Chains A and B, each alone.
Chain A
Amino acid sequence: MHKGGWEMNVIECKGLTKVYGKTKALNDISFTLTENKITGLIGRNGAGKTTLLKIISGYLKETSGEVKVFSESPFNNLKVSANLIFVNEEMSYPGSLNLGEILKAAATFYENLDMELAERLMNYFSLDLRQYHTSLSKGMRSTFNTIVGISSRCALTVYDEPTSGMDAGVRKDFYRALLKDYIAYPRTILLSSHLLNEVEDILEDILLIKSGEKYLHMAMGDLKEYAIALSGRSVSITKWAEERKVIFQKSLGAGSSYIVVKNDLSALEIEQARNEGIELMPVSADDLCVYLTNKTIGGIDDVFSRS
């Protein structure tokens, strides 16, 4: 993984829009993913994550705008198909083949597929090569799909909510297996999840979408320092809130408040806030993404507050 110097763009989207009937699932999305990074695609239910991933993977055609994968349009494209694997819940395989036969068939298509790794993972996760995909439980099906995803070693590996249905232990093992294989065989990985805290440590970048639009695209490390929480007496907090954009606010009762603002406070302002008895706290990436994608800055509490 030689960074530095020239980086190849694996995915390029310009003004990408997808319309289903009257709803805009994706609205004018533009971004670029460079080679050999793990990027997390984060968004709420219905934000357009799956639609975006399906367009990139060539399963759906965009309504307007441009999408390039390995510099080519992915829809009906053999070069893209041979270098990309899309792993999601709906993966369907011929019912007449058992898991071992599915892997063999996949190996004829994906030339980098590591059969030995696939079998070792199957064995570790207690999957039998003679089982049939349709006979597996939901969690086991997801596990098998992710094994195909890792061992195929495609230049672009796309996962849509790969861990749905898996138990906590399997999820952890899967992300560790993915990271280990990525370190050994660097490749571009795009991974959607609504459980950010589960994946944030292995991500290099994050792409956050909200209602079909790109909200932010930045390094994971920068996201963690993007916002700061202020907590203290409402009188002092209100003054701080007036001067800046509030990302989230919550009343803690008895005259106390908690607000989240952009982390652009100067050292002097931090000192000043502390002297006013305000507590400053980091905001986890997971919470921040929820706050940023809430419809209102009070979140669910706003539904119940009628004052």
Chain B
Amino acid sequence: MILNSDSMKPIYIQIAEWLETEIISENINPHQKIYSQYQLAEMFNINPATAAKGLNILADEKVLYKKRGLGMFVTDEAKETILSKRKNETLKTLVVDLVKEADYLNVSEIELIQMVKDASSCIKGDGK
């Protein structure tokens, strides 16, 4: 991942999201050690304090747990927590924006649902 310094998203959020993706895609599994703040700092060329902030967000959300003197590890429920957070927050916001834009463009609900279905079959079709 390349960090985007101009993004609306602060760097530490981008770090947290990257780690979430690593956990969702099972590159790092429950009870495995996650990257340390120093490894992340080195990988992304950022101050270790910024990396620590990203890790602490995930610890607060119980995606990671601390072992004194050993570092941070992935919790049992990490993947589930992340998926439900992304669904209830990120996806919901996207849907609200989508509905707003459709409304703005006078696209009816039925038409919008059809567009969603078309996009879905298009994406899934490509996978076959």
Contact = CB atoms under 8 A, between A and B. Distances in A.
A224 interface: yes
Interface of A: 1, 37-38, 175-176, 179-180, 183, 197, 200-204, 219-221, 224-225, 281-282, 284
B10 A203 contact: no
A203 B47 contact: yes
A183 B41 CA distance: 8
B50 to A, nearest CB: 6
B11 A225 contact: no
A7 to B, nearest CB: 13
Interface in B25-52: 38, 41-42, 44-50
Interface stretch (B1-9, B76-84, B87-95, B112-120): B1-9
A37 B50 CA distance: 12
A183 B42 contact: yes
A281 B10 CA distance: 13
Interface of A is mostly: helix
A180 B53 contact: no
Contacts of A38: 47
Nearest to A180: B42
A220 B47 CA distance: 10
A176 to B, nearest CB: 6
A206 to B, nearest CB: 11
Contacts of A219: 49
B65 interface: no
10 contacts: A1-B48, A179-B45, A179-B47, A183-B42, A183-B48, A202-B45, A204-B50, A220-B50, A282-B6, A282-B8
Nearest to A200: B5
Interface in B55-114: none
Question: Interface range on chain B: under 10, 10 to 19, 20 to 34, or 35 or more?
Answer: 10 to 19
A183 B38 CA distance: 6
Given A201-B46, A221-B53, 14 more contacts: A37-B49, A183-B38, A183-B41, A183-B48, A201-B3, A201-B44, A204-B47, A204-B48, A204-B49, A221-B11, A221-B50, A281-B8, A282-B7, A284-B5
Nearest to B47: A204
B42 A201 contact: no
A258 B6 CA distance: 18
Closest 5 CB pairs of A and B: A204-B49, A204-B47, A201-B46, A282-B8, A183-B38
A1 B38 CA distance: 10
Nearest to A197: B5
A181 to B, nearest CB: 11
B104 to A, nearest CB: 11
A211 to B, nearest CB: 28
Nearest to B53: A221
Contact of A284 (B6, B38, B42): B6
B10 A201 contact: no
B59 to A, nearest CB: 14
Contacts of A225: 10
A275 to B, nearest CB: 11
A220 B12 CA distance: 11
